Amino acid sequence: MGSVGEPINEEAWHWYNNNIGKRNSPIIDTWWQTETGGMMITPIPYVTPTTPTYATLPFIGVQPALMDEEGKEIKGNQVSGRLCIKFPWPAIARTIWGDHDRYRDTYFSAYKNMYFTGDGALRDAVGYYRITGRVDDVIIVSGHNLGTAPIEDSINEHPAVAESAIVGFPHDVKGNALYGYVILKETGESRDRDNLRKEINQQITEQIGAIAKLDKIQFVPGLPKTRSGKIMRRILRKIASKDTSNLGDTSTLLNPEVVKEIMDNAL
């Protein structure tokens, strides 16, 4: 059973495994990009032991590297950094039509002789990779670098929550603060919203720390997603920052109508 688009959170992973796969079909939680032309980090069915939230190991021949902000490779396990690929592979994109300089600047200027994916990742004790989100989704709050994926995973473990997305917005004191868009399950729709907000932040505090608490939590009917399941976070960032004069192209969204609903009820 495949999983693509956004990294699958742990609760969804277990639901998928128990209810759809009946614990017999392995979940192939892949990491790849349109530009890579194929899966780059992925379990091999019935061969690679799977772990919730992890894309596991590089596919055959793929050579990933985790890099720090100074351009040095981070060796060993139980580390995190920026995900790059060290060596070409057969399906790599060769250019951007009519703009090769943009291709080179986007993918090969950040780290010498490496393809920079734009994603952050961690490598655990056994060498499994977990994608932690786009590097530009890392939000600096009071000097702390906060990845969105772990916070979203924590929120999604709340029994009333179906899905969530976190973005940053400008804050006079912290520099940036966290804005959460949260979809409730049917069981959560009848709950008191103020109490839910307190419970969600308490859960984040217990699992990650008080620095990761959300300043604003908006309950929404859905999230703007592409047809491949990726959340359009640039739209959510603009709404959180009250900069909605130009949301950019929304024609690729699976559900463009949800954008107006979110805007109309923004905090």
Closest CA to 4 of 36, 42, 35: 42
Q: What is the pLDDT of residues 137-191, one digit of tens each?
A: 778 899 888 888 889 989 999 999 999 999 999 999 999 999 999 999 988 888 9
Query: Residue 133 and residue 35: Cα distance in Å, rounded?
Result: 17
Which structure tokens are listed for 102? 């943009």
Residue with tokens 């399941």: 229
Which residues, 6+ apart, have CB-to-CB distance to 66 below 8 Å?
Answer: 73, 74, 79, 80, 81, 82, 83, 84, 121, 122, 123
Answer yes or no: is pLDDT of 197 > 90. Answer: yes
Return the pLDDT at 218.
Answer: 97
Domains present along the chain, CATH in parentheses = 2-132 (2.30.38.10), 138-264 (3.30.300.30)
**Burial class of residue 194, CB neighbours in 10 A (0-12, 13-18, 19+):** exposed
**One-letter amino acid for residue 67 of the chain:** M
d(CA 253, CA 267): 23
In angstroms and rounded to an integer, the radius of gyration of the C-alpha atoms of the chain is: 19
Segment 70-111, tens digit of pLDDT = 899 999 999 999 999 999 999 999 999 999 999 999 999 999
- H/E stretch holding 168: strand 161-171
- pLDDT tens, 100-144? 999 999 999 999 999 999 999 999 999 999 998 888 777 889 988
Q: Long-range contacts of range 243-252, CB-CB < 8 Å, 24 or more positions apart? A: 250/224, 252/226, 252/227
| pLDDT score at 265 | 94
Task: List, for residues 247-258, the tens digit of each pLDDT value.
Answer: 888 888 888 899
Give 9's pLDDT tier (boundaries 50, 70, 90): confident
Distance in angstroms (rounded) separating the CA atoms of residues 188 and 131: 29
Which pLDDT score, from 0 to 100, does residue 203 have?
Answer: 96
Q: What is the pLDDT of residues 20-42, one digit of tens each?
A: 999 999 999 999 998 999 999 99
Determine the Cα–Cα distance for residues 166 and 183; give it in Å rounded to an integer: 12
What pLDDT is attached to residue 84? 97
